[in-house]
Each structure stands twice: as C-alpha cells, then as structure tokens.
Amino acid sequence: MFIETDHNKYDLLEFFGAEPTNFADEDVGKYMYVKEANGIKIIFIMDIYDNTCSLCINCRNNFRLLFDYEMKDVAKVALENDKLKIYDTSNRVLLIVHKYPNIGVEL
C-alpha cells in the first residue's frame, strides 16, 4: 500500500505553488513541499511508501514552531475547495489545511 499520487502531484503543486524537494533520490518516495506567506511557513513532508505525512507551521520572523503534526496510515492527499485534505486508509479525514483567507488547520 502507498499514498495515492495520481492527482496528488497536481493538487500539491497548486496548493503550495512550487515543485517538491526530493530527499536524496526520487525512488525513495519522500517529498517536501514548502509555502511561505505573511511571515508564516508551512512545511509538508510526504513519504509515499511508508504512508506517512508530517505538517509543520512556524513563524518565519522569530522561528517559533506553531504547529507540528505527524500522520500515519495515510492513503490519500487531495485538494478540495482550496483546502488540502489528508485521508487515512479508512477514508477518514486526518487533517485539513487552509490557506485562504488565512493559513490554518482542522484536526
């Protein structure tokens, strides 16, 4: 089992506005996306083979960690109505990330 990536690449590109950074080799299946806006930085790391994701939000100006969350058993990441939704293997929403009008998360 691995995280669905057919649409994810385009959804993540649209949400973060940039291509991911690969860890070591593309075959490793670990990707990092970064978005900065209004002094807030979002870092999203996805490991498609280990079915894990992590999301960190910090304040760029004083380097304070605002939010840090690790997710296991991730099956799908999708962009729906400008919100990034992360689903587990039971199709439950683990986390919702908003970027408009302000950056925020729902657990």
In a structure prediction context, what are the per-residue pLDDT tens digits for the chain, which is 107 residues long?
A: 566 655 567 888 889 999 888 776 667 888 899 988 888 889 999 998 899 999 999 987 777 899 999 999 999 999 998 899 999 999 999 999 988 877 889 98
Query: 93-98 and 104-106 as β-strands: parallel, antiparallel, unpaired?
Result: antiparallel
Q: Which pLDDT does position 84 carry in this prediction?
A: 92
For the whole model, what pTM was predicted? 0.87
Cα(71)–Cα(52) distance, integer angstroms: 6
DSSP string covering 17-40: SSPPEESS-GGG-EEEEEEEETTE
Provide the pLDDT for residue 5. Answer: 56
